[in-house]
Structure 1
Amino acid sequence: MSAESTGSRGFTYWRLRFRAWRGTRPFWAGLFTLLGGLPIAYFPYAQLHLGNLTLAMSTTAGAGSLIIGVLLVTLGLTMWFQSIVRVFAGVAAILLALVSIPVSNIGGFLLGFLFSLIGGALSISWAPGEPVRPAAGPDTPRGAPVPDDDPFFPEPRDGEAPNVPDMTAQANGGRKSAG
């Protein structure tokens, strides 16, 4: 390795990449929904051993609980990797959380129900951020006006009308006159 080489990509590189990935999608909504699906799917099939006593939580709705739990986990992953359908996934997660109350041991003993409900609400309320406009230079404070020669946000040239449609009210309803 030479003195100029950065070597292997370290922890900081992957942490910053994960942070950038996480910022472009409803990460916490997906995590809560995914974590909500696990107890809903697990508890109907769990067996708790207390000494010689075995407690089985299996119910007649065990298959329904498994389906609800797997769907919630799938919706959580969908929120991460297909964030364009976040509203649908959020509504579906809330509905599945509500259905899990009578079907799956009070929604995974309210743990899975609450996680899924919060995850669905976070998914519905999440919106992608607006891109940050680049500043004029490294010494310009954040939020300062951008210079006119910015190629990403062009201003109209002299004598050129801005690219904004005319929305003024007309007495004739906006129709062209016949004459």
Structure 2
Amino acid sequence: MSAESTGSRGFTYWRLRFRAWRRSRPFWAGLFTMFGGVPIAYLPYADVRLGNLTIAMATTAGAGSLIIGVLLVTLGMTMWFHTVVRVFAGVAAIVLALVSLPVSNIGGFLVGFLFALLGGALSISWMPGPPPSKAAKHGVNTAQVGDDADPYMEEPRPDEGSDPNVTETTAHADGGRNSAG
């Protein structure tokens, strides 16, 4: 293979693809929510062996802990692959984290509780970025174009008329009739 061939996609290509995928969704919110679900689901079924002594963490609410943990992992995946319902998934993750406190060993010894709470909060607060401008799509640096405008500012609307008392709600209050004629 020559240095100019594109037959093999290298590490940089996949890293950039992953970065673009990660930035288009609440990635860290989903990851923290899934990390929170693992200790909540696992710890009630875990046992620790110290020589001949076995310490079991089993509680009467083991099934509830398993359900909460699996739901948190599912909500984390939902945050990644269905970003439209990210607010619902975040609220559900926070509620499940709060429910895990009395149900599953103080929310997985507070580790699972804190991760799920943080993931739910990040999911609720995440918002997609503004779409890239035409110049950025074509690889032109916007600093070269001279566009110093804030990308979050709204475009100015054309004036509805010369009357300063006319607002957007009163401009069409005449039922669609033209007031000039």
TM-score (norm. length: structure 1)? 0.81
Q: Tell me: CA distance 1:99–1:163, structure 2 relative to 1, closer, same or farther (3 Å).
A: same
Q: CA deviation at 1:74?
A: 0.2
Contact 2:160 2:171 in 1 (8 A): no
Of 131-140 and 2-11, deviating more is: 131-140
**Which of the numbers 144, 147, 169 marks the counterpart of 1:145?**
147
The DSSP-based 3-state class of the residue aligned with 2:134 is coil
Q: Percent identity?
A: 71
Structure 1 residues 13-57: Cα deviation after superposition (integer angstroms, max 9, x where no partner): 110000000000000000000000000000000001112111100
What is aligned with 1:54? 54
Matches within 5 A, 1:53-92: 53-92=53-92
Question: Is 1:35–2:49 an aligned residue pair?
Answer: no
The DSSP-based 3-state class of the residue aligned with 2:48 is strand
Of 167-176 and 6-15, deviating more is: 167-176
RMSD of equivalent CA atoms: 3.0
Uncovered stretches (5+) of structure 2, i.e. residues with no partner: 149-154
Of 27-36 and 129-138, deviating more is: 129-138
What is aligned with 1:26? 26
Structure 1 residues 106-149: Cα deviation after superposition (integer angstroms, max 9, x where no partner): 00000000000000000000000001223398465168329xxx
Of 128-137 and 103-112, deviating more is: 128-137
Amino acid at match of 2:131: P
Q: Tell me: CA distance 1:74–1:127, structure 2 relative to 1, closer, same or farther (3 Å).
A: same
Uncovered stretches (5+) of structure 1, i.e. residues with no partner: 147-154, 156-161
Q: CA deviation at 1:173?
A: 4.1
What is aligned with 2:5? 5
Amino acid at match of 1:129: G
What is aligned with 2:100? 100
Aligned residue pair count: 165
Bigger helix share? 2
